[in-house]
Structures are given as structure tokens and as C-alpha cells.
Amino acid sequence: MSFVQVLFVAVRALLRNPLRSFLTALGIVIGVGCVIAMTSIGSGARARVDETFSAMGSNMLIIHSGTSRRGGARGGAGTLPTLQWEDLEAIQNEVPAIASAAPLLTSAAQLMAEGQNWASSVRGTTPVYFEIRNWPIGRGRFFYDAEVDAGAKVIVLGQTVVDNLFGAFTDPIGQIVRVGRVPFEVVGVAAKKGQSAFGTDNDDVAFVPVTSYRSRIEGGLGQFLDGTIFASAVSAEATQEAQRQIEELLRARHRIRPGEPDDFVVRNLGDLAAAQQEGARTMTSLLAGIALVSLVVGGIGIMNIMLVSVTERTREIGLRMAVGARPRSILSQFLVESMVLSLIGGLLGVAAGLGSASWLVARFDWPMLLEPGIVALALGTSAVVGIAFGLYPAWKASRLDPIQALRYE
């Protein structure tokens, strides 16, 4: 008997009891469906983490003041600034792996426009900050370097601030916003960035030139930089190297002796991204593991039904043997039957998995990524499950004695 004939016989036998065949395959449908849905959503989640971090600037480094050693008492990170304005210049000019660096000074402030006011976060920085953060302008423009040098009273608002101060109908560009008592002219609105990876609103913010910030909003601490330095490495691969070079530079500048701890903190977003990635991957493999278990359960379901089927069809087997079926033909018939069952289950499962994944995507705005390798793996696994769990019932069928099988009640 050729394989096609065996396949034909098996399919005919399955179609004689379509509902039962379908229910038997259902275990595999669910198993494979879970694998596909989980991994699609899982890799979607990884892709989103990637996206988030590259939106933040994947070659970005953040430098904070660390624990101060001054005065003997150790404060928390950044409690007393240890970074100096000259450090910023040195990082910009002396670190080969750094493309650019910008200060970021932050304070809470009450913003006022005509008739409205809004408590938000005001930040002093330089135009290069927006490049480092990969943050495009939405309307108008960012302030220029010349405006930074001149200490111009210009301000760039985040979308949330615009919404609260001006509503949907007023064009904010050219309007005056007071920070405390100081009037600033709105020159631009930063593009909407949405929630940060840490759940805060990226758009509830206003930017002014760092010089204006120091002279008009917070007096500052002279030579110390009471904030954060954002820097970008020349490439994503260079971030590690950039971090090392900055640490070396700052230790030298702060005269920290070997063995003593840093008085600053350099964070590398690449590491953070990798950690997030790792988390997402662990989650995916956990879910895939659960899904695989359900595949095995589906396989046991198939085995159960195949055993029932062998018992039920004992007379059929006896008759097939009486008219000349070899034991091997019987074995392959039942084996192919269970394989067809689980493969069809697998195919339906792929469809169900993709269906439910895309439903989740539509429902929860969650990214989905179909990995063809996983589909092949799921189908392969279901075929293997079919063979593995069909083997015993098929073997049992093929060992039947023709006359006893024919006489079976």
C-alpha cells in the first residue's frame, strides 16, 4: 500500500466520525493555539521593549551625581551635586566615544497662561538634548544654541501642558507663558511621546534654555550641575565603551583614588534594555512551556481516543486482516490516523493562535510578531505528538489476531 492510499484510508476512517475526530483534535488545537498566541505576543512584547528603548535613544547614557563624600555624611544618590559644569564640557570634548552631551535641570513650577495655570515640570537644557532623546518637534521649533547663549526667554511645551493651558482651539505658538513671574514666549511644542517606560507622562513638561533656567528659575549652585547629564555615544555598540571612558574621566577629574567608590553614577540604556528584553524572553519561554504541556495533554487525548477507536473497530481490523492487510498496514493506518488528527489540530491551532493574538492586538493595542520558526515548530511538535501517542494504539491494533478480532463483540 502506498502512503497516499494509507492516508486516504485514514482520512476516510476519521470522516466516518467527524465530530469525535474534531473533539479529539481540539486538545492539539488549543495547545498549538496557545504556543502560537503566546510566542506571537511575547515577541511582540520584545519588539515593543526594543522600540521603547530606541525611542528613548538606544545609545543614550545618563550621568547623575553620586554619593557625596564632602562633609563626611554620605547622602543618597544625587543628594548633593558632585557633577560640575566643567565635567559636562569635558565629557563633550574629551571623551572620544561620546557624540554629544546635554544638561538637564528640573524643577516643579506653576505655569500660567491667560486665564489658565498648570503645575508641571520645567527643564533647562540645550537643543542637543532633543537629539539625544530622539525627540522630534511637533509644532514650531526647538530653541536655538544662540538663544541658549543669549539666555533668551523662550519655551518649548509638551503636549499635555499645551492641552491644559490652551485647550484644543488656541495656537500656542507665540503665546506667553509665565513660569513663576517670568514670561517666556512659546516657540514650539514637542511631539507627543506618551507614557514613559516607568508610567509617567512624558508630555507633561516644558523646556527652556539652560541659561535662562539658571538665571530666571533656579539660582543654581555655581560650579555644580544640580541635575543630570544626557549623553549619546557615537553608536549603539559604543555605549559600553563610552560609559567606561566617562567613568575614567570623571574619576580623574574628581580625583578619586583607586579603590574608592565613584561619586557619580553612569547608566547605560543598553543594559536596561537588555534586562527588559531578558524579562520578556523569560516570560515568553514560561508561557511557551505551559503551552507545550497543554500539547502533551492534547497528545494524551489523542492516545485515549485512538485506544478507544482500536477497541471499537476491532472487527474492522479483523476484517481488514482477513482480506489481506499485513500487520504493518494496520499499524500505519492507525498511526497515520492519529498523525492526521494532530496535524489538522495543529493547523487549526495555528489559525486559532493567530486569530486570538490578532484579536488581543486589536483589543489592547499590543504588538504582535509572527515567527515562522515557531509555526513550523508547533506543527512539527504536533506531528511528533501524533506519532508518539498514536504508536501504542496502532501497535496494539496491528498485533490483533485476525480470528479473535473478527469474533470480537
Catalog residues that contact other proteins under the rule CB under 8 A: 1-2, 5, 9, 12, 16, 315-316, 318-329, 401-403, 406
**Helix, coil or strand: residue 308:** helix
Question: Distance (Å, rounded) from C-alpha 281 to C-alpha 46?
Answer: 7
Distance of closest approach, residue 394 Cβ to other proteins, in angstroms: 15
For 232, list phi and psi in degrees, rounded to 5.
-125, 135
How many CB atoms are closer than 10 A to CB 136?
11
**Residue among 301, 364, 289, 392 at smallest CA distance from 29:** 301
* Closest to other proteins by CB, 14 or 179: 14
Helical H segments across 57-111, by residue range? 85-94
Sign of the alpha-carbon torsion through 308, 309, 315, 321:
negative
Residue positions counted in the chain: 409
37 or 321: CB nearest other proteins: 321
Q: Which is nearer to other proteins, 1 or 265 (CB)?
A: 1
CB of 396 to other proteins, least distance (A): 15
Nearer to other proteins, 85 or 395 (CB): 395
Instruction: For residue 400, report the phi and psi dihedrals to the nearest 5 degrees.
Output: -60, 150
Nearest approach, Cβ of 20 to other proteins (angstroms)?
A: 13
Residue 64: which of 364, 287, 267, 301 has the closest Cα? 267
Nearer to other proteins, 6 or 351 (CB): 6
Coil, helix or strand for 121?
strand
How far is the C-alpha of 90 from the C-alpha of 92, rounded, in Å? Answer: 5
Closer Cβ to other proteins, 116 or 404, answer by number? 404
375: Cβ contacts below 8 Å, ≥ 6 apart: 36, 350
The DSSP line for 165-206 is HHTTTS--TT-EEEETTEEEEEEEEEPP--B-TTSSBTTSEE
Q: Which is nearer to other proteins, 8 or 359 (CB)?
A: 8
Cβ 23 to other proteins, closest distance in Å?
Answer: 18
In DSSP terms, which residues pair with 121 in a beta bridge?
A: 108, 205
Between CA 117 and CA 73 the distance in angstroms is 40
Cα–Cα distance for residue pair 61/92, rounded to 1 Å: 13
* Smallest gap from residue 47 Cβ to other proteins (A): 50
Site of grid cell 492586538: 361
Least Å from the CB of residue 305 to other proteins: 17
Which lies closer to other proteins via its Cβ, residue 82 or residue 332? 332
- The three grid cell numbers given for residue 275, joined into one nine-digit string: 534586562
CB of 331 to other proteins, least distance (A): 12
Q: How far is the CB of 406 from other proteins (least distance, A)?
A: 7
Cβ closest to other proteins, residue 319 vs residue 369: 319
Which CB, 19 or 168, lies closer to other proteins?
19
Q: How far is the CB of 348 from other proteins (least distance, A)?
A: 24
Beta carbon of residue 24, minimum distance to other proteins (angstroms, whole number): 18
Element of type H or E holding 251: helix 239-253
Q: What is the rounded CA–CA span in Å between residue 240 and residue 274? A: 13
